Amino acid sequence: MDDSRFVKDFLAVFHKFNYRYSKWEVWNDFLYMAATSMANMIPIAEREEREQRYLSIIHKYPEELRECFPELLAIVTLALDANPEQDFLGSMYHRLQLHQEQKGQFFTPYHISHFMAEINMVGVENEELKKKGYITVSDPACGAGAMLIAFANVARAHGINYQKEVLFFGQDIDLTAALMCYVQLSILGCPAVVIVGDSLVKPDFHPDNDVWYTPFYYLNHWRFQSFFAGKEEVREADVVVDKAEAEKYAEEAGGQLMLNFSKAS
Binding residues (CB under 6 A) for ligand SAM: these are 105-108, 113, 139, 141-143, 146-147, 171-174, 177, 198-200
In whole angstroms, give the CA distance from residue 147 to residue 157: 15
Q: Closest approach of Cβ 174 to ligand SAM, in Å?
A: 4
Give the nearer residue to ligand SAM in terms of CB position, either 105 or 161: 105
In whole angstroms, give the CA distance from residue 225 to residue 222: 5
Q: H helices of the chain, where?
A: 4-14, 23-39, 47-58, 63-66, 68-82, 88-95, 110-121, 128-132, 146-157, 162-165, 175-187, 215-220, 225-228, 236-239, 243-253
- Give the residue nearest to ligand SAM (CB): 143
Give the nearer residue to ligand SAM in terms of CB position, either 164 or 206: 206
Distance spanning both ends of the chain, measured CA to CA = 21
Q: Closest approach of Cβ 109 to ligand SAM, in Å?
A: 8
Q: Is 170 within 8 Å of 138 (Cβ atoms)?
A: yes
In whole angstroms, give the CA distance from residue 125 to residue 88: 27
Q: Closest approach of Cβ 86 to ligand SAM, in Å?
A: 12
Which residues neighbour 126 within 8 Å (Cβ) at sequence distance 6 or greater?
A: none
Give the nearer residue to ligand SAM in terms of CB position, either 36 or 199: 199
Give the nearer residue to ligand SAM in terms of CB position, either 31 or 142: 142
Q: Closest approach of Cβ 103 to ligand SAM, in Å?
A: 10
Q: Is 168 within 8 Å of 152 (Cβ atoms)?
A: yes
In whole angstroms, give the CA distance from residue 47 to residue 78: 26
Q: Closest approach of Cβ 150 to ligand SAM, in Å?
A: 9
Give the nearer residue to ligand SAM in terms of CB position, either 3 or 198: 198
Give the nearer residue to ligand SAM in terms of CB position, either 77 or 113: 113
Amino acid at 20: R
